[in-house]
Structures are given as C-alpha cells and as structure tokens.
Amino acid sequence: MRSTQFRLVGSAVLLVAVLLIGLAAIPYFGVARLDREVRERQETLVSRNISIWISDVEFALTAWTIWDEAIAKIDNAFDLEWTDRNIGRSLIGTSRTRFVMIINGRGDIVYTKTDDEFQDRPFFVRGAQMIAADARPLIGAVRDREKAGRPAGIPQPIAFSKIEVIGDEAVLLSASLFQPDFSTTVPQGTHAPILVSAIPIAGSLQEFLGNRFLLDDATMGPAVNVSEGRAKVEVASGPNGQAQALSWRPATPAHDLLRQSLPLAVAVILVLVVVCTVAARISRRAIVSLVEAERRMRHAATHDFLTGLANRSMVSPEFDRMSKTGEVAVVCLDLDGFKAINDLHGHAAGDALLKEVAARLKAACRAGDSVFRLGGDEFALLMSDVSPAKAELFCRQLCLEISQPYLIQEKPMVIGASFGLSVVPAGETSCDAAFRRADEALYRAKNTLRYTPPTQQPESDHVRRVG
C-alpha cells in the first residue's frame, strides 16, 4: 500500500520537478535574445531622435540661407555691414548659434563672427581657419548636392551637420547653402556662398543627450572603447576624427526578471501559488516599465518638444490614413512677423509665443483634424471630409484667431498668419505632391503681397494672408 502510494506520489513529485526545471530553464535561453532586441530598439530610437533634432536645427537656418537679399548682398556684391547686421548679429542674437562663418563661391572665408562670451572656449579659441578645416567634409557634401542642380519650385534646404567634441565641450557644426527664395536675384558664379554655424551644446554631451532621451548612466567616449553589453550610438567626432559614441546601460527587463525570480526558486516547490503570483507581478511591472519607457521615446521621436504638436515625421502616415476615406484638405500655415518678435524680445519670448499659437491651433481645430509643427514658425493642418469652400473659410477664421493679441512676458504682442490650401480627392495624389501644392499656394500668397498685385489662382489651391 505504502509502496503504491509512494510510486504514485513519487511520480507526481518527479513530474512537478521536471516541469519546474523546464520552466526554470526557459528564461536562460530567451534572456539574451530579448535583452538584445530591447537594446537594438533603444539604439534605433536614440539615433532617430538625434537625426530629427539636427534636422530641426538645419531647417531653422533656412530663415537666413534661403533669401534673395542674402544672395544679392553676399554673392552678387558683398556688403560687410549688411552681412554683419542681418546674418552674424541676427543669428547670434536670436538663436542658439554662437559662431558664424561665410565662405564664398571660390572657397574663401569672407566673414566670421563669434559671440564674445564664447571666444575663449576650447572649440572657438582655435580660430576660423581650424573651424573651417573641421567643416571641410560638410562643405564638400554641400557642394556635391549643389552640383545636382536646383529643382523647379520651392527651394529645399541643402545642409549637413555633425557633432564635434573638443575636450569636455560639444558643438553642433552645420554647413548650409545660401539659395534664392523667389529668384529675384541668383548667384553670379557656379557656386553660391555657404553658411557655417556652430551651436554649443549646454553642459556635457552625455548629460544633454542622456536627459533628453531618458538614458541610464549615459557616457561619451571613443566608440572602440565601449564595453560589451552597453548600448551605443556614434554621434560625434573628436579633434583627430575618431568616432565618439554615446553609450548607456540598456534596459534589461528579461535579465532583471530572471535575477529577481532566482531567490524564489527554492520556495516555488513549497509555495507554488505564492511564487507564481509574485513572478506575475514582477513580470507585469517590468513589462509596464518597458512599454512606458518606449512610449515616451516614441512620443519624443514623433512630436515637437516645444509645442507638443506632431512633427513632420507624422505627416505622411496621417495623410495616407485620411486620404483612404475621402477628401483631405492640406493647409500650410506660416506666421508673419515672428522673426521681428524674436529680434525685438528674444528667443524665450519667441518660444512662448509659439506655444500660445500651438494652443490656439489645437483649440480651433475639429476633433478629427491633425495639427503639425513643421519647424520654425511653420505649421500644417490636415482636415478630412470638408469642402474647399468650408476649408478656406475655416482657414480664414483660424488666421484671424491667430492674429489676435498675445500677452507674453507681460507684454502685448501681435503677429499675422498666411496660409496655403490644397483640397485633394481620395487617393488622387501622394502626400508630397499635396503638400507641394499647398506650399506653392502659401509661397504665392507671400510673394503676391511682397512683390506683385494679386493674380488669379487655380480653384483647387487657395491662399490667404491675415494679420
């Protein structure tokens, strides 16, 4: 009897033991693979965030580089006083740029300016010639792109950037091609001038990027010295051209879960239910933490950090989604007088004003509409199921709302707004084509008011300037 009971109980105990051993062995095979996938996902998101940040900086420089008057005063007949006032002092005074250099079509340095507070910093104290040598690969890339020729229509920015580290100081170095916007003036030679600008990164680079992207134990150093198991992204170059990598301790949810579960392994045999409950709770916390961290990083990659609006990376997917169900109204909106606000009241006031404008845009739009900040003082809207007439009426009302006075830093401020509208039937064209039409409508509106009397426009493209 006892022998039979022992055989029955022994078989059950052996079966449970084999099951527990099997369950315990499964994590050992999956931990490395799961943690590697998490690390690769983090590296991709950080790299994409850095690229988007640099693209936003390059796009902001177009306010100075895509300008007919800049071509006339720098290329056609160099005017030092105009260049110093409208390029050098304007850039340093209204943006985070602290060094400006202009290279003419022959490759000569014709203008340099450094913020007085930064002249003794390690990067800037080396002088314009050394900085120009650092920027030579960027300048070469700009010239290669320039050789491809300028496509018809709205000029696209031609710029290349890199992060350079000198000692503990990091600087974003950019080279941008000067281009005419309305072609009232064109470069006289084969090559147009190039703007080289430098933006110091506040604090250490690892602190700046680590805090921006929520990285744990972020450090900077030569890429070849990053230890095994740390996540890394090559983000900068040193004075000798050696690649500098941002590295951090990646999230290891699978390894953390295994380590936390090991002390409970012995107790599992006696208190299986308790251990399963604890393991389930630990798993849930680890997964929730991972999902929340990934959600924050995805949000940072697809939304403007200043206004909270979706950025240009979300435009194409949202357009494709809306165009499947019916007509889509594409609106490109540009603020009038914003640069004057920046010049007069400073960068902080300009940022506060952009936040207020974004709030008015979100409040005015319908629940199904989408609002985007494309960069600088440019915004875009996508509206579905709306006729051209209603879309234009809405845009007029929206521009009137934007042009109402603002109270920024206890000072009243007023700006205007211009818009370009293109209503696209379902599936008729691509996102790029639709936005190109709306951009051209916006440019025609600004060009009409700036240069020529109003002319008749196609019925599908509506333009308006308010303020």
Residue 147 burial (CB count, 10 A):
9
Report yes or no on whether pTM surpasses 0.75.
no
**Least confidently predicted of 52-61, 190-199, 292-301:** 292-301
Q: Average per-residue pLDDT in the chain?
A: 82
What integer pLDDT is reported at residue 367 of this predicted model?
Answer: 87
Higher-confidence residue of 285 and 313: namely 313
* 71 DSSP assignment: I
Backbone angles phi, psi at 164, to 5 degrees: -120, 140
What is the C-alpha separation between 372 and 166, in angstroms, rounded? 36
Distance of CA 24 to the CA centre of its chain: 44
What is the C-alpha separation between 56 and 294, in angstroms, rounded? 22
pLDDT over 90 (residue 154): no
CB 421 within 8 A of CB 395: yes
pLDDT digits (tens, 9 = 90+) for 381-410: 999 888 899 999 999 999 999 999 999 988
What integer pLDDT is reported at residue 451 of this predicted model?
Answer: 36
What is the C-alpha separation between 219 and 383, in angstroms, rounded? 44
Quick one: what percent of the chain has pLDDT higher than 90? 38
pLDDT, average across residues 201-213:
70
What is the C-alpha separation between 85 and 72, in angstroms, rounded? 15
Residue 86 burial (CB count, 10 A):
17
pLDDT over 70 (residue 269): no
pLDDT digits (tens, 9 = 90+) for 75-118: 999 999 999 999 999 999 999 999 999 999 999 999 999 999 99
What is the C-alpha separation between 192 and 187, in angstroms, rounded? 6
CB 462 within 8 A of CB 395: yes
What integer pLDDT is reported at residue 457 of this predicted model?
Answer: 38
CA-based torsion, 12, 18, 21, 26: positive or negative: negative
What is the C-alpha separation between 46 and 41, in angstroms, rounded? 9
* 235 DSSP assignment: E
Beta strands in 343-413 (DSSP E): 370-375, 378-384, 406-408, 411-413
Residue 219 burial (CB count, 10 A):
18
pLDDT, average across residues 347-366:
92
CB 164 within 8 A of CB 123: yes
Tokens of 391: 């879309």
Backbone angles phi, psi at 304, to 5 degrees: -75, 125
CB 132 within 8 A of CB 101: yes
Report helix, strand or coil for 213: coil
Report helix, strand or coil for 253: helix
Backbone angles phi, psi at 166, to 5 degrees: -120, 105
What integer pLDDT is reported at residue 215 of this predicted model?
Answer: 81
Residue closest to 199 by CA, chosen among 220, 171, 219, 222: 171
Residue closest to 380 by CA, chosen among 369, 371, 389, 390: 371
